[in-house]
Amino acid sequence: MAEKLASLWPEITLFIATCIVMVVGLSPSAAVRRTCGLISGVALAAAGILAIGTADQAKGLMPGLLPYAKAVIAFVGVLLTMLLTGVVDRFEEEAIEKGSAGFDPLRSTRGEFFAFFLFSMTGLMLCASADSLIWLFLALELTSLPTYVMVAMSSPRQKAKEAAVKYFFLGALGAAVFLYGFALLYGGTGSVHLAEIQTAIAAQAAEGSINPIALTGLVIALLGIAFKIAAVPMHFYAADVYQGAASPVAAMLAFVPKTAGFITIILLCAAVGWNHGPMGDQLPEIVRVTLWVMAALTMIVGNVLAWLQSSVKRMLAYSSVAHSGYMLVGVIAGPGDAFTSSGVAAVLFYLLAYGIMNTGAFAVVSALETRQAARTDTGELVHDEADDINAFRGLCRHNPVLGWSMVLCALSLLGFPLTLGFFGKLPLFTAGIDAGEIPLVVVLGINSAIAAFYYLRLVALPLFEHPGDEAEAYVESPNHGRRVVGVVAAGGVLVLTVLASPLMDAAFDASADAPLPVAESEPPGEQTASLD
Amino acid sequence: MLIVLLILLPLICAGLIVFNPKGQAKYIATGATLVSVVIGAIALIQFDFSQAALDQMVVKAPWVPALGLELSLAVDSVSLLLIALTVLLGPICVIGSFTAVKHDVKTYYAWLLVLQSAMIGVFAARDLVLFYICFEFTLIPMYILISLYGSANRKKAATKFFLYTFTGSVIALAGFVYVVWFHASLEGNSWTFDLAALGESARMMEPAQQGWILLALLSGFAVKVPLFPVHTWLPLAHTEAPTAGSVILAGVLLKLGTYGIYKFALPYAPEAVVEYAPLIGVLSVVGIVYAGLICWVQTDVKKLVAYSSVSHLGFCVLGLVAINSVGVAGSVMYMISHGFSTGALFLMIGMMYERYHTRSMREVGGLGSTMPVWSSFMVFFVMASVGLPGLNGFVSEIMCLMGTFQSYGWTGEGGAHPGGTLGVLGPWFAFFAGTGMIVAAMYLLIMTGKMVWGKYREPEGHHEHDELPTDLNAREIGLLIPLAAGCLIFGLYPKPLLNAIEAPVNETVAYYEGLVPVPELEAGMTTVANEGDHDTEHGEGDH
């Protein structure tokens, strides 16, 4: 127990911060209340450092995964914290400042908002630490449940409530599906512990065939988790929910549940192992086919639907569906003995790249709001966000910082060379081809091209157009943290390409505990040949 | 280091432009491009042309070791000559834009310089991903140049240009990665993107694999060339682009496609090229004739020259897939000489457009009387483009056709012809491509007839340009003279150029030794084996 706890310091830190934030958010002093975001950010940073510091304590099926995943989560988490500041209670705080209203702890939601956020991040980190199905289920739900509330709280518009309800019910469905899958998996292997499942399945495979109940369970679990990563066939909610929620929360939805989902998928696949199939280097056929179809459809559906959108948030939502499809290619490819051939490492690296560039794009969206506050049906004031793509017309001219941030993030999401997105996608190509999944890589290539059709609008409108009336209606939000996030992300997609190699090595180390296909193992001397 | 300097200098100067006042932008850009010309000239002098096929001026630095990427630059004679073409066109584009570009001046010159760096990077890259990055990165500056400084329909043109080329090259990337993986699987899983190493492995692939690789690479490069039927972006992009954009597009960017075929498709997939060369040849010939016929009915003079590029580049591809030393050398020669003549034509049309604000041959014409200097140059460059003997177009075009004609081990009567070379095309391809030359003469001469001779026509409401005289001024003549000189020198005395490119071309052609099934090959087939002792070994070891 104590050993297990030793690897959970990051989560413990976050939990303590959650408690503090909940109390601090209710302080009558405005100055104290405002520290909520700061505390969350510091806690996340501390959790990231602790995760790296306690790397040698890591336990679980893939101990190497823990420090990398938690550090990435913490880093993107800090960006998200900056983005989430000022989402709730804006007019209430203004009124208190002006003296027209007193502080009412019942109406103040800031503390809860950040507490929910930190809960979700705690759940995300716990996913990485999971060593049993039950833990995994609880961690996934701890990640998701707070996000339902956050969607509802994020905007006074009716759309946010609608989005939250939709998200909640579909989320509950997704949870039920993968819980059912977990139950079957337990039935087929006789254990909930991932390590024991791994042994059981290896034994079954050695005897000739894996228990069909276990396989069915795995496939059902994967379908359920498809909800978390917004993959086809569980992608329906994405556009409505992202559009209904405030952009900072949408940015969070695009990263947090997706990361949780991919960590879970990697852990489950690692438990089953990539050493089945005719050549002994694949997932069991039915799992591979499920993931294959899911990946191909997710890429195609996501990109084609994104292409048809005129709302930036819906476009980014569908593109986030498509990005899940790209990453599934890496999952199918499985681990390898070098970074270039390890699909798992490619996914882990892509999660970092995606987290940065997508958060940057959403940061720019959230940094633009209507000049005049409008009233909702319930009489609350709200500054609507720049959702229509025309709001970005000529952004580079009247707000070069935000405009160029958007341009760079969009180019990176497109996977344009010299950006982080390109270096994220390249290993998916190499790993996919190395695993012999050439048709899937071709689908990936074609989809990268389709993606150009809509991401290019996010490049062309800010750069080349003159701001029209629609664009004039939007001004920059007074919340400068969002501009900072945009700049940091845009800088990140350029600067991190210089640091790509150490980050890729880290991602490879993180994937190193995934069981290597037996057939592919080679003498150790050659394994490290390309690792320099 | 010279190559690094050639790449970095424009980039640094682009940065300087951004942080300096608007008025200085054009001077900084001029300075940067002129210094680049000097550096390029020094590089030409320092290059050891007796070892032309070897990569020289090698610079290597680790980049992303986890992926096996290196910042690796080097040049052989073909790369160096194309780089020389690029840097020569640099100041011509910059100085040619002095009066044409009025708004967002800093952005314009900065991106023009970035474009130059990217293009040099493409020719000098010896790492596949570095090549790909530079290849793709030429898109952004060109996209911006067309979108911001083009004419009425510029946004559609720019978007079409970007999407066509990006789509093609993503698929090419998949092909590249497959080659890299194939190399890694042969070499005990050591991943490298080094061009030389990859070529050797690629040639060991099965013919079917090579076929797929060829398809993937062609989908990237054929769009760029552009080869019929994926040429439709080009006329639009050319027509809408600003003059300097058109000059660079015709002069260098299209050559990235043919250079890609020359540098990757030919050496990586020889067996597939042999198999599919007739198909590519047919597409080239159709492109030559079809684009030529389209030219014939154009009234927009810039669109005419744009379509003539499609037609001309068809010869270039035809020469490449003739896969014998004459055809490939002619094709490489064509890459360089087309940059001179067509680049100059676009420049001249730009000069005319600045004065008359129309490109329609219905509205403007008969300029021989008002613009004699312009008209003289126009006739000269049209002749170069038509392929008048004594000018550059003739040499390269005739070499491409000769290579095409001779290939198929053209035997004539009674066995192998001493001059017969390897190849899979044949007289019929040359014949139909030859009709393209006739069509070219027709449309270009008709255009000259309308523009230069005949009754003077000017668009309604025409008035003299504020800054420009009726005829060309000294600045404009100064821009045209080096191009005209190039056309004349390469036309009258192409030998030094041909000598320079002979060795690398022969090295490429050597991969095809023995691949082409010609029964009579034993006898007098003296081809190109003279060059490569060890390179020929690779070529022969593969089949």
How far apart are alpha carbons A418 and A497 in whole angstroms? Answer: 7
pLDDT bin (cut points 50, 70, 90) of residue B401 is: confident
Residue A503, CB-side half-sphere exposure with 13 Å CA sphere: 24
Interface test with A, best of B176, B180, B191, B212 (most A CBs within 10 A): B191
CB contact under 8 A, A522 and B163: no
* Spatial CA neighbour of B276 closest among B425, B421, B409: B425
Residue type, B336: I
Q: Is B192 on the interface with A (CB under 8 A)?
A: yes
Nearest residue, CB atoms, A433 vs list B64, B147, B178: B178
Shortest Cα–Cα distance, B223 to chain A (Å): 14
Helix residue spans in B103-242 (DSSP H): 105-124, 128-137, 139-149, 154-186, 195-202, 207-224, 233-240
From the list B381, B394, B84, B113, the residue with the least C-alpha distance to B255 is: B84
* pLDDT for B120: 92
pLDDT at A334: 84
Percent of chain B exceeding pLDDT 70 equals 90
Please calculate the CA angle B329-B333-B339 and round it to the nearest 5 degrees. 155
Q: How far is A324 from chain B (nearest CA, A)?
A: 19
Shortest Cα distance, chain B CAs vs residue A526, angstroms: 6
Q: Report helix, strand or coil for B70.
A: strand
Nearest to A360, CA basis, from A506, A491, A206, A189: A491
| Whether the predicted pLDDT of B321 surpasses 90 | no
Q: Which residue has the tokens 């948030």?
A: A313
CA A331/CA A353 separation, integer angstroms: 16
Mutate to test the interface with B, among A341, A413, A430 (most CBs of B within 10 A): A430
Average pLDDT along chain B: 83
Cβ-defined contact of B67 to A339 (cutoff 8 Å)? yes
Query: Is residue A366 scored above 50 in pLDDT?
Result: yes
- Angstrom distance (rounded) from CA A385 to CA B43: 55
Phi-psi map region of B300: left, alpha, beta (phi>0 left; psi -120 to 50 alpha) = beta
Average pLDDT of chain A is 86
Whole-angstrom Cα distance, residue B265 to residue B245? Answer: 27
- Those residues whose C-beta lies under 8 Å from the C-beta of residue A523, and which sit 6 or more positions away, are none
Express each pLDDT in B134-159 by its tens digit.
998 888 888 888 888 888 888 888 88
A526 to each of A468, A523, B62, how far by Cα in Å? Answer: 60, 6, 20
Predicted confidence (pLDDT) per residue in B474-528, tens digit: 888 888 898 899 888 888 888 888 888 888 888 888 887 767 655 444 444 444 4
Tokens linked to B460: 């309604």
pLDDT score at A1: 64
Q: Is the pLDDT confidence value at B539 over 50?
A: no
Asked if B271 and B543 touch (Cβ cutoff 8 Å), the reply is yes
Tokens in use for A370?
């209507």
Q: Could you state, in order of their start, the residue ranges of all structural domains in chain A?
A: 152-531
User: Is A458 within 8 Å of chain B by CB?
Assistant: no
Half-sphere exposure of B494 toward its Cβ, with a 13 Å CA cutoff?
Answer: 24
pLDDT at residue number A253: 92
Would the pLDDT of A10 be above 50? yes
Instruction: Report how far residue B314's alpha carbon sits from residue A362's, in angstroms, rounded to the nearest whole number.
Output: 46
Which of residues 64 through 93 in chain A touch B, CB cutoff 8 A? none
CA dist A259 and A261 (Å) reads 5
Say how far apart CA A211 and CA A216 lie, in whole Å.
9
A480-495 helix and A65-84 helix, angle to the nearest 10 degrees: 140
Which residues are bridge partners to A276 per DSSP? A282
CA distance B103 to chain A (A): 13
Residue B63: band (very low, low, confident or very high) from pLDDT cuts 50, 70, 90 = confident
Residues of chain A in contact with residue B163, where contact means CB-CB under 8 angstroms, are 449, 452-453, 456
Share of chain A above pLDDT 70, in %: 97
Locate the chain A residue with the closest alpha carbon to B129. A417
Residue A508's pLDDT band, with cuts at 50, 70 and 90, is confident
Query: Which residue from B63, B171, B191 is facing A530, i.e. has the nearest CB?
Result: B191
Predicted confidence (pLDDT) at residue A471 exceeds the cutoff of 60: yes
pLDDT tier for residue A256 given thresholds of 50, 70 and 90: very high
Q: What pLDDT is recorded for position B227?
A: 87
Averaged pLDDT, B238-246: 86
Q: Which residues are registered as beta bridge partners of B413?
A: none
Contact B174 A526 (CB under 8 A): no
Residue in B66, B170, B192 closest to A504 by CB: B66
pLDDT of residue B409: 52
Contact A70, A46 (CB under 8 A): no
Tell me: pLDDT of B74 over 80: yes
Here the contacts of A33-42 (C-beta below 8 Å, separation 24 or greater) are A33/A93, A33/A108, A33/A110, A33/A111, A36/A110, A36/A111, A36/A113, A36/A114, A37/A81, A37/A82, A37/A84, A37/A85, A37/A114, A37/A481, A39/A114, A40/A81, A40/A114, A40/A117, A40/A118, A41/A78, A41/A81, A41/A82, A42/A17
Q: What is the model's pLDDT at position A362?
A: 92
Give B191-239 pLDDT, tens digit per residue. 788 888 888 888 888 888 888 889 999 988 998 888 888 888 888 888 8
- Collect all residues of chain A within an 8 Å Cβ-Cβ radius of residue B188: 522, 526, 529
pLDDT surpassing 70 at residue A324: yes
- 3-state class (DSSP) for residue A333: helix
User: Are A472 and A393 spatial neighbours (Cβ–Cβ below 8 Å)?
Assistant: no
Q: Give me the amino acid identity at A365.
A: V
Instruction: Return the residue of A nearest to B137 by Cα.
Output: A417
pLDDT of residue B541: 38
